[in-house]
Structure 1
Amino acid sequence: MEKEKLLQTLSKQGITEETIQAIAKVPRELFIGNNTPETAYKNIALPIDYDQTISQPYTVAYMIDLLELSPGKKVLELGGGTGYSAAVMWEKMKRQGELYSLELIPGLQKTGKQNLAKAGYKEIHLICKDGKKGYPEHAPYDRVVIAAAVSTLAKEITEQLKEEGILVFPQQTSQNACIMTKIKKKKQGFETSTHGYFAFVPFV
């Protein structure tokens, strides 16, 4: 019932049907740490261990819409957390392609990996690694998403995009606000657009 209510809310907020279907397939209750199960489908951010948060479903869905995901893409996520957004992306990709997710905090990466395995997403690579300069090992990528506030974007990250590749990240504009930013790599350079204000924990 709560899940259905959330899906209806996301639809009213303008999230695409494909992303809503992906969210419907992911058991969010497996990704929320010590929060009570009844909070799983509330449209709010939730605190998790190590002073981190799991973003509200709307924020996850909005970023995934901006990524323009489709099956067969190679995707890099920086800031994997509990694994939830990676699971939604993988469903949006129809479980086809490659998905690498980096998480710096060892305990959180371990938890995220366990969550993904429990939910049946064993093909997602959740790796314990510092992602401030991306992940050159498997570059170039069709899509890159950063799930935390970035004040200065490392040029190495945009260099790891394929031509026509898309990067989505929250650009820190002040202590409490970020502007959602989308960069598309074109033959002649980069095309940048902005998409509203959000709150995120800092990218570490």
Structure 2
Amino acid sequence: MKDETMRMLRGSVSDRVLAAMGRVPRELFVPRGIRGSAYEDRPLPIGEGQTISAPHMVAIMCDVLDIGEGMRVLDVGTGSGYHAAVMAELVGPEGHVYSIERITQLAVFAKENLTAAGVKNVTVLEGDGSRGLPEYAPYDRINVAATAPKIPEPLKEQLKVGGKLVIPVGSCYQELVLVERMKEGYELEHHGGVVFVPLLGDYGFEM
């Protein structure tokens, strides 16, 4: 199933993203009872009402962000840690991923999974992801794996000039939006409809 997923994605995203995904054992990032489904191209439940995104969505978001080696990345919505692990492969040993999760049990789960997978350049912290992590800003890239009613201002402000943010936006209809910070203002690109769990917090949906 892993090879089938990679073949399906080939040509739609960069080979570099596919190579990074191929190095991350996705089965380590899902609950033991459903590891046989780890490479199916669909979201899977990871507990606490949350999901691990489908492989194609992880690939698309990483591809759109154009993550380079040595970058500092903020990951909002750690979940099981899989998306952070793929981005850690993309930034390489000289880069770092700071990942924030609001649910304690998932933050613990993600840390265990990342350790099991041998990922050393991801820091998982617990908190309100809609506020970002200003203590480690500015970031080259920001990935948000939950939909917001609008793009949170703190996340935009924590981008470097030339930095990029990808985030689902909307409630009934969600759209994947890429934000690039320019010297003056921001530029937006729209990348089609998506379905994500809501981003809860001060700059997201009300809890």
- TM-score band w.r.t. shorter chain: over 0.9
**In the TM superposition, what whole-angstrom CA distance separates every residue of 1:144-184 from its partner, at most 9, and x where no partner exists?**
11110111222111011100000100011x42x31000010
Q: Does 1:44 find its partner at 2:9?
A: no
Contact 1:34 1:48 in 2 (8 A): no
Matches within 5 A, 1:2-17: 2-12=1-11, 14-17=12-15
Structure 1 stretches lacking a partner, 5+ long: none
1:43 counterpart SS class: coil
Q: Does 1:196 find its partner at 2:195?
A: no
Q: Distance in 1 between matches of 2:95 and 2:174?
A: 30
The Cα RMSD (Å) is 1.1
1:150 counterpart SS class: coil
Residue 205 of structure 2: aligned partner: none
Residue 179 of structure 1: aligned partner: 175
2:162 counterpart SS class: strand
Q: Distance in 2 between matches of 1:102 and 1:72?
A: 20
Residue 68 of structure 2: aligned partner: 70
Q: Distance in 1 between matches of 2:199 and 2:30?
A: 20
Q: Among 12, 22, 27, which residue is 2:25 paired with?
A: 27
Q: Among 57, 77, 81, which residue is 2:55 paired with?
A: 57
Residue 103 of structure 2: aligned partner: 105
1:203 counterpart SS class: coil
Q: Does 1:169 find its partner at 2:167?
A: yes
Contact 2:84 2:99 in 1 (8 A): yes
Q: Does 1:135 find its partner at 2:142?
A: no
What TM-score do you get using the length of structure 2 for normalisation? 0.93
Give how far 1:200 is off. Answer: 0.4
Identity %: 38
Contact 1:148 1:203 in 2 (8 A): yes
Residue 204 of structure 2: aligned partner: none
Contact 1:102 1:129 in 2 (8 A): yes
Give how far 1:94 is off. Answer: 2.5
Give how far 1:128 is off. Answer: 1.1
**In the TM superposition, what whole-angstrom CA distance separates every residue of 1:79-113 from its partner, at most 9, and x where no partner exists?**
01100000001112223312100000000000000
Matches within 5 A, 1:151-162: 151-162=149-160
Q: Distance in 2 between matches of 1:138 and 1:119?
A: 24
What TM-score do you get using the length of structure 1 for normalisation? 0.95
